């Protein structure tokens, strides 16, 4: 797979093909498989993503600690806010739904990780539904997301323990922004700008889960990560360009992650996990888990 998004964007432009096609053909060559075979695997991933969205919307799931669950249903059925009835609210609900399923030991696609698994399904299936986009195009978008994620994995990190939450929900937001931009008709160059615009908004984001569990704030970070992805998409589709090239934005995410204090890298030693209430909740809820 590519090590620089700039190279992929240049190749797609020169060949006059989409980034999705470029990504699928590159993966086929790398892995000695057929494009159809890879598309079938992505299709299965999409089905699992949709299943998780639907399952989470029911609102009856609770996590091991009981700290999270039931909030996706509030967005779907609860009192309207200023964005009621818009794709924005629907995307937020979907992100919470997938992460609530994850926290309750339901089946999800770790894309790029389990902790950041809500963003891609939320943004891609939410916008596909709103705009009446066919499944084949959503599968293509997953290929673009995979290309962006592979570049992030090469140049920076996709692990909260290595790079903080910017490497999980931040990376997910960047992947979703780029992928959805192509799905909605954006050019390869616009995909690059959408990816950079989303990622710049999550730089420095710490990984600070209460008790070390993939629950709080992880569930909500997937909602805010989706909102940032939507921002990147809306700006890039309008023709906004981000002046720092996307690969440099990815590089600096890696640098920030590497210099981040260990307290902010999934150890529950800092951030929200270390607040008085964070510590108290973790203590109470972890004890509760042991009692079962």
Interface ranges with another protein (CB under 8 A): 1, 23-24, 27, 30-31, 38, 41-42, 44-45, 48, 63-65, 101-115, 117, 120, 142-143, 145-147, 149-150, 153-154, 158-159, 161, 175, 211-215, 268, 285-286, 289-290
Closest distance of CB 151 from another protein, Å: 8
Closest distance of CB 206 from another protein, Å: 17
Closest distance of CB 257 from another protein, Å: 14
DSSP label at 273?
Answer: G
How is residue 146 written in tokens?
A: 């995979």
Distance, CA of 42 to chain centre:
16
Secondary structure (DSSP) of 156-209? S-S-HHHH-GGGTHHHHHHHHHHHHHHHTT--HHHHHHHHHHHHHTTTT--B--
Measured from the CB atom, the residue of 99 and 181 that comes closer to another protein is 99
Closest CA to 114 of 75, 54, 159, 153: 159
217 cis-preceded (ω within 30 degrees of 0):
yes
Beta bridge partners of 144: none
| Cα–Cα distance for residue pair 174/195, rounded to 1 Å | 4
Measured from the CB atom, the residue of 62 and 131 that comes closer to another protein is 62
Closest distance of CB 50 from another protein, Å: 12
Q: How many CB atoms lie under 10 A from the CB of residue 68?
A: 25
Measured from the CB atom, the residue of 109 and 173 that comes closer to another protein is 109
Closest distance of CB 156 from another protein, Å: 12
Cα dist from 152 to 159, 176, 193, 277, whole Å: 11, 13, 15, 34
Measured from the CB atom, the residue of 153 and 203 that comes closer to another protein is 153
Measured from the CB atom, the residue of 88 and 220 that comes closer to another protein is 220
Closest distance of CB 90 from another protein, Å: 22
Measured from the CB atom, the residue of 203 and 286 that comes closer to another protein is 286
């Amino acid at each position: 797979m590519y090590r620089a998004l700039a190279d992929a964007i240049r190749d797609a432009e020169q060949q006059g093909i989409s980034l999705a096609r470029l990504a699928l053909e590159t993966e086929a060559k790398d892995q000695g498989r057929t494009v159809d075979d890879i598309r079938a695997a992505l299709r299965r991933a999409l089905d699992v993503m949709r299943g998780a969205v639907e399952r989470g919307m029911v609102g009856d799931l609770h996590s091991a600690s009981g700290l999270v669950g039931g909030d996706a249903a509030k967005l779907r059925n609860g009192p309207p806010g200023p964005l009621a009835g818009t794709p924005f609210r629907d995307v937020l609900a979907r992100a919470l739904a997938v992460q609530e399923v994850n926290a309750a030991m339901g089946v999800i696609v770790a894309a790029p990780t389990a902790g950041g698994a809500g963003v891609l399904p939320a943004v891609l299936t939410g916008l596909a539904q709103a705009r009446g986009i066919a499944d084949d195009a959503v599968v293509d978008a997953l290929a673009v997301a995979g290309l962006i994620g592979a570049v992030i994995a090469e140049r920076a990190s996709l692990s909260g323990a290595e790079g903080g939450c910017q490497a999980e929900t931040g990376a997910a937001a960047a992947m979703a922004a780029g992928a959805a931009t192509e799905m909605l008709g954006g050019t390869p160059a616009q995909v690059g700008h959408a990816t950079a615009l989303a990622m710049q908004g999550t730089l420095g984001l710490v990984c600070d889960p209460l008790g070390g569990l993939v629950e709080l704030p992880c569930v909500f970070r997937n909602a805010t990560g989706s909102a940032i992805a939507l921002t990147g998409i809306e700006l890039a589709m309008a023709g906004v360009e981000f002046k720092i090239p996307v690969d440099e934005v990815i590089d600096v995410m890696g640098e920030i992650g590497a210099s981040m204090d260990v307290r902010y890298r999934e150890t529950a030693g800092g951030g929200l996990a270390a607040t008085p209430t964070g510590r108290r909740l973790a203590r109470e809820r972890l004890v509760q888990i042991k009692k079962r």
